[in-house]
Amino acid sequence: MGTSIDKFKFNFDQGARSNRFSVDIHCPKLGFSLEGIRVESCSLPGRQLTTNPWSEYGVRRNMVTGEILEDGGTIELTFLCDSSFEDRFLIESWNSIIYENAGLQEGTTTHPIFAYLDDYSGTVNIAQLRHNDKEALTYTLNEAYPSAFAPQEMSQGESGIMKFSCTISFRNWTSEYKAAPKLSALNKGRRALRGFADALGTLGRYNKTAQKFADRLTRSDSRLGRLANLFGGNG
């Protein structure tokens, strides 16, 4: 029989893995939707509230300026290419339509005519998967489109699968945390969070900020499930 630390290590080993993810791209305006495309690497963007040092007296403190930065509004996707280069063809065509076809006029790289953003932007969904292939966390990049793609090197000395990298620009992103696994002894933090949210709800009768925070915690079971995972659980 294993010790308690062995059990903890076993459950921890079931945690989130960076190599278990899927990427879907949807662009209804251009009439295509790709699910489970062959992306070798990508990233989940972060977010930063800009601040400035300020002091009414004494020591300075950082105050939010009102600007929100979404990692520069870009991420990098690297695809594995098959012999048909389908993924590259899609990204290159999507990138080209931005400046080649605007209404009744046709543009070129030497004389670009840019279309409206709404006519070519779509969404990119990045999902982190659990060991049972169910989604644990999904990011949705809004108003997304390929703003750049990198050159591909050719070499007689290389025999591996070719890769294709592109830059996806986006306006902002949203996240969704899926329902947590079934409660276990190592996942009891979720019960505490429920009590915490209930207490915030009571406090919220007198404090609007606390009420908004409580609403955010309890808006859906998936949100609360994500927070519970921070305290440990089966990933």
Residue 100 has what pLDDT? 83
Q: What is the pLDDT of residue 231?
A: 41
Architecture of domain 16-44+72-178: Roll (2.30)
- Give the whole-angstrom CA distance, residue 200 versus residue 196: 6
Give tens-digit pLDDT for 59-115. 999 999 988 888 789 999 999 988 888 888 889 989 988 888 655 667 888 888 888
The residues of the chain scoring below 50 in pLDDT are 13, 184-192, 220-224, 226-228, 230-235
Token couple for 109? 């790289």
Nearest to 95 by CA among 34, 40, 169: 169
Residue 205 pLDDT: 58
